[in-house]
Structure 1
Amino acid sequence: MNILVLVSGNGSNLQALIDAAKAGKLGPGSIVAVLSDRAGVYALERAKLAGIPVFTEVPNHNLAKDERRLELSNRILKICKACAIDLVIYAGFLSILKGDIIEAYAGRMINLHPALLPKFGGLGMYGERVHQAVIAAGEKESGCTVHLVDAGTDTGPILLQRKVPVLPGDTADSLAERIHHEEHIAIVEAAALMVKRFENKSWGII
C-alpha cells in the first residue's frame, strides 16, 4: 500500500509516521513519497534522512485563489498517479485541494486537524489561530481530529479524535504543545486504520 504524506512545515507528524512504518505499525503501508507546498521546510529533510523521495509543489500565486488551488491539486494528482499512491495523508498540510483529486481519492485521503471538529474548523482555522479561538471561547477541552477529506474544508467524516484539557493560564503555544503529543498518536492510529480498510477493501465505510 503506497502512502503519500503532504506537509507544509517542521514535519513532526511525518516523523511519527516514518517511525511507525519502520516499527511495522502500518503493516503493508509504506510511505513512498513526501510532498510539500513550501520549499525548504524541515519536513523534507526528515523524509530525505529516511530515504523517502520528496516533491516540492508550490502554489502559483499569480493565479486567482480558486484557479491556484485547482492547478496545484492537478499537479499533485499527477504525482499520485505516477507513484501509484493508494492513500494520501495530510500531516500539517496547509493548502486546500479541490477538483479531480478529491473524487479520485474519495475515502482514501485523510487530514489531521488540531481541534475537536466540528468545532473550530473551516477556512482560516489552522495552526495558532485554532488554539487562540479555543481559548477565547472558554473551552474546557480541545485535542485533534483525523477525518476523511471531502470537497469541503474540515467537513469530512471523522475517523478518530484525541482530547486534552484546556488548563487555566494556557496560551496558544502551551495548548498546541499538549495537542502535538496527541497528534503524533492520532495520525499513526488513523493511518493504521486506513491500511486495514485497504486490506479489507472497505474504503470510505465508517
Structure 2
Amino acid sequence: MKKRIAILASGSGTNAQKLIEHFSESAEIEIALVLSNNPDAFVLQRADNYEIPTHIFTKEEFYNSEEIVGLLKKMDIDFIVLAGFLWLIPKNILAAYPNRIINIHPAILPKFGGKGMYGDKVHNAVLASGETEGGITIHFVNEHYDDGEYIYQGRYKIEKGDNLEMIKFKGQQLEHQHFPRIVESVLKKIKK
C-alpha cells in the first residue's frame, strides 16, 4: 500500500507542484490530498490539474474542531507536508501525526524564522542583514513556528548586487531541487 501525503499550502503552490510531479510515478508514495486556508490559492488549481482532491478550511475548523484530523484519518493520510502554509499547526493535528509533519522555510534557521517570517519578509530580512549566504531549511513541525528538528539545510551565495528577485530565485531553485528528495527520504523511514 502506498504511503499517502497531504499537502497544506496557502499560496501559489510551486513546491506542492514539484512534490506532485516527483511522486506522480511512484509505486510507494502518493500525494493524496491538498488542503488550503485560502480559497483563492493557486495551489488548488495545481492539485485539480492532477486530479488530486482538495479541501478548503476556515480558521474555526482548523483550530476549534476535529474536522481536519477527521478528514486526514478518513483519507488514510500517513504524512503531512507544509509547502508555503502560514498558520501554526494546532495541537490536535500534531498529536495525531507525531514526527510526521514537515515544513520548508526559505532561510537558514534559526536566523530569520518565527512568527510573521515568511516569503518576501524573510528574503528582505536576509538582504538587509548583509549575510553572504542564504538558504533553505526543511524541518519537522512542532507547536512553535520554525522550531522543529532540522532535517536538511541547503545554502546559496548572495553576491554583491543581488536583489530580492535574485535571492528568491536562488532559494526557490534549492527548494525545488531538494524538497521532494528529502520528503521521500523521510517517508521511506516511517512504517505505514
Structure 1 CA distance for aligned equivalents of residues 143 and 59 of structure 2:
19
Partner of 2:19: 17
Aligned pairs for 1:1-206 within 5 A: 1-24=3-26, 28-60=28-60, 70-71=63-64, 74-199=66-191
Matching residue's letter, 1:59: K
Per-residue CA deviation, residues 74-101 of structure 1 (Å, 9 max, x unaligned), is 4322221111110000011111112211
TM-score (norm 2): 0.93
% identical aligned pairs: 35
Amino acid at match of 1:97: I
* Residue identity matched to 2:133: E
TM-score, normalised by the number of residues in structure 1: 0.87
Q: Does the residue aligned with 1:147 lie in a helix, a strand or coil?
A: strand
How many residues are treated as equivalent by the alignment? 190
CA deviation vs aligned residue, 1:36-77 (integer Å, no higher than 9, x gap): 1101221111101101001111324xxxxxxx86227x4322
Tell me the SS of whatever aligns to 1:168. Answer: coil
8 Å contact kept, 1:86–1:108: yes
Which contiguous aligned blocks of 4+ residues in structure 1 show a shift greater than 6 angstroms? none
CA distance in 2, matches of 1:35, 1:120: 26
What is the CA–CA distance in structure 1 between the aligned matches of 2:12 and 2:96, rounded to whole Å? 28
Paired with 1:113 and 1:58, the residues of 2 have a C-alpha distance of 23
